[in-house]
Chains A and B, each alone.
Chain A
């Protein structure tokens, strides 16, 4: 079945530092890939997505490129802010045909803390 593996956390950075959160996946076919962010006490917000190989998703300074050859979708941001402190989830959908409707498979989440 599908699976998603995220880098072990938590991650602690100083403001304006460079961020990378690694994400690799296992899936058959051609899944779509997502990054969601969860702030304390809230649900998940879509951060960015990519639906085919070599697509780059971007939003609010965050970027991730769908790399089929390395089955990866690493999240990057050039300069983090205190307000970026949250939990980040990598997820995929599809990749297994008709058994995948409505189902996102998530990584374990990475807690990011940014200090001033």
Chain B
């Protein structure tokens, strides 16, 4: 079974631009979660989508948004990029049936904001 895939793997943007990241979950998984990883803040939860609905959300500004499609693929968008948005963005998928499900992670998208 194929794992979680994320595209692109690397991105370089400038301040003020916007960016869209994509995540394809493991086949059969309906939940996709997004995390931001930085050296200073560690791994922080952004949001989770299940069956095209946002079910949970972390403490990030409204510039961070996401959506999920009917095939469970998910996208994350960051508008008006700031230097502090430079990070590794990880998505993870799970069945989403119980809140203690195991999450399986993709390789991440490395975003650099100049």
Contacts and interface: CB of A to CB of B under 8 A. Distances in A.
Interface string A32-64: 101010000011111001010000000000000
A8 to B, nearest CB: 13
B60 to A, nearest CB: 13
Contacts of B43: 89, 104, 106, 109
Interface stretch (A10-18, A77-85, A91-99): A91-99
Given A100-B56, A102-B56, A105-B45, A34 B50 contact: no
A106 B4 CA distance: 20
Contacts of A51: 100
B15 interface: no
Nearest to A98: B99
Given A43-B90, A43-B108, A89-B43, A102 B50 contact: yes
Contact of B107 (A32, A34, A42, A107): A42
Given A42-B107, A43-B107, A43-B108, A101 B102 contact: no
Q: How large is the interface on B (under 10, 10 to 19, 20 to 34, 35 or more residues)?
A: 20 to 34
User: Chain B: interface secondary structure?
Assistant: strand
B45 A101 contact: no
Contact of A102 (B6, B55, B104, B107): B55
A46 B3 CA distance: 12
A108 B48 CA distance: 21
B33 A104 contact: yes
Instruction: Specify which of B47, B58, B100, B107 lies most central, judged by the most chain A CB atoms within 10 Å of its CB.
Output: B100
Nearest to A51: B100
A101 B42 contact: no
Given A43-B90, A94-B99, A98-B99, A103 B45 contact: yes
List the 9 closest A-B pairs by CB distance, nearest first.
Answer: A102-B48, A32-B100, A94-B100, A106-B43, A43-B105, A102-B33, A44-B105, A43-B107, A100-B99
Interface of A: 31-32, 34, 36, 42-46, 49, 51, 89, 93-94, 97-109
Interface of B: 4, 6, 31-33, 35, 42-43, 45, 47-50, 55-56, 58, 90, 92, 94, 96, 98-108
